[in-house]
């Protein structure tokens, strides 16, 4: 299945949620404008679909001001929504890049943070697969040392993607492991080091302090690292993702987001709310468990899929 097909299929429940509200105003289709009551209904529907109040009112405003070409049909309304959403999402469409000064070849460090179960370890593995396929030399570090299963899980991805995984004993010091991982990755002449971390709830101060320590230790080795400090957010949690962002932003100096599990959730609209609220790059979105199910986020495709239009 192509990526676009996967994205549209994955977002089906989310787009159904947006669509079901649009069908409610079908009586009014056929005019060259949309009446005020219907626009309010659309606005409410967008809020219910997790796009957030500010995005919903901005889009409502856009629909009010819009000059419709001929009669309004369900598809022209969908197309209009997709256009507005694309405009909102474009500023956060930024694929991950590797900035290496000319002639220099230092290690690029990617740190993955987030709450338990958000998809960090899976994302680490998927990223390793992608970078290896690009011909980069990748090393991963299993800095989630709370659960033995977490180390095994990352090692599994390491074996599947032919990537070295640096790990320690369960219960060990994650910051010390990160320190050693940078040494080893450099000694191996690696291009990229992906550091997986333990899931932590934003209200557990000691775990947030551990994360801060991991970052301090990384910076001792390479002052500009982590080059990417990515929060991995589970798209199924809806508005709770906003609270997670706020907490991790304070500790981890986030540079971007990866939003996972957009397949099979009705809450995919949260991506739009996150884009508007934080303005941080949405580097990638995940719509499944396999390596190829994580791809670059593109505003146009996501916006179209979210309103149930084929992105092609
Ligand atoms: N359906 C689906 N499942 C995912 C996705 N990303 C991760 N998962 C699953 O979510 C679960 C938790 O992922 P994991 O990487 O262990 O989360 P972590 O605790 O943050 O490391 C695993 O069963 C993954 O296979 C995704 O994009 N779609
Ligand atoms: Mg994990």
- Look up the CATH number of domain 108-298: 3.40.50.300
Mutate to test the pocket of ligand 1, among 289, 293, 295 (most ligand atoms within 8 A of CB): 289
In 10 A of CB 71, how many CB atoms? 11
Minimal-distance CA residue to ligand 1 atom 19: 117
Q: Which one of the ligands is nearest to 291 CA?
A: 1
Structural domain boundaries in the chain: 3-92, 108-298
Tell which CATH architecture fits domain 3-92: Up-down Bundle (1.20)
pLDDT, position 75: 85
In 3-state terms, what secondary structure has residue 146?
Answer: coil
pLDDT, position 102: 55
**CA 158/CA 133 separation, integer angstroms:** 14
Low-confidence ranges of the chain (pLDDT < 50): none
pLDDT, position 52: 94
Q: Name the token pair of 156.
A: 């599994």
User: Is the model's pTM score more than 0.85?
Assistant: yes
pLDDT digits (tens, 9 = 90+) for 11-36: 999 999 888 767 666 556 677 788 88
């Amino acid at each position: 299945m192509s990526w676009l097909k996967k994205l549209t299929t994955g977002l089906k429940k989310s787009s159904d949620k947006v669509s079901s509200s649009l069908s409610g105003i079908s009586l009014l289709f056929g005019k060259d404008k949309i009446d005020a009551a219907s626009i309010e209904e659309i606005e409410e529907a967008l809020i219910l679909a997790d796009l957030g109040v500010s995005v919903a009112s901005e889009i409502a405003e856009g629909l009010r001001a819009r000059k419709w070409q001929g009669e309004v049909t369900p598809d022209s309304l969908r197309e209009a929504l997709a256009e507005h959403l694309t405009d909102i999402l474009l500023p956060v469409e930024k694929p991950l890049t590797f900035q290496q000064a000319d002639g220099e070849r230092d290690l690029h460090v990617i740190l993955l943070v987030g709450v338990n179960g958000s998809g960090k370890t899976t994302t680490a593995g998927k990223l390793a697969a992608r970078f290896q396929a690009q011909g980069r030399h990748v090393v991963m570090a299993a800095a989630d040392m709370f659960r033995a299963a977490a180390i095994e899980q990352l090692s599994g991805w390491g074996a599947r993607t032919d990537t070295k995984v640096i790990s320690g004993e369960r219960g060990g010091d994650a910051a010390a492991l990160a320190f050693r991982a940078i040494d080893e990755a450099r000694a191996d002449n690696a291009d990229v080091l992906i550091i997986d971390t333990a899931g932590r709830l934003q209200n557990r101060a000691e775990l947030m302090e551990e994360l801060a320590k991991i970052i301090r230790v990384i910076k001792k080795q390479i002052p500009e690292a982590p080059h990417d400090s990515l929060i991995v957010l589970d798209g199924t949690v809806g508005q709770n993702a906003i609270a997670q962002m706020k907490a991790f932003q304070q500790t981890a100096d986030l540079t971007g987001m990866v939003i996972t599990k957009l397949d099979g959730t009705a809450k995919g609209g949260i991506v739009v709310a996150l884009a508007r609220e934080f303005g941080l790059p949405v580097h990638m979105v995940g719509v499944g468990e396999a390596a190829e199910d994580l791809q670059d986020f593109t505003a146009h495709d996501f916006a179209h899929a979210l309103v149930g239009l084929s992105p092609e």
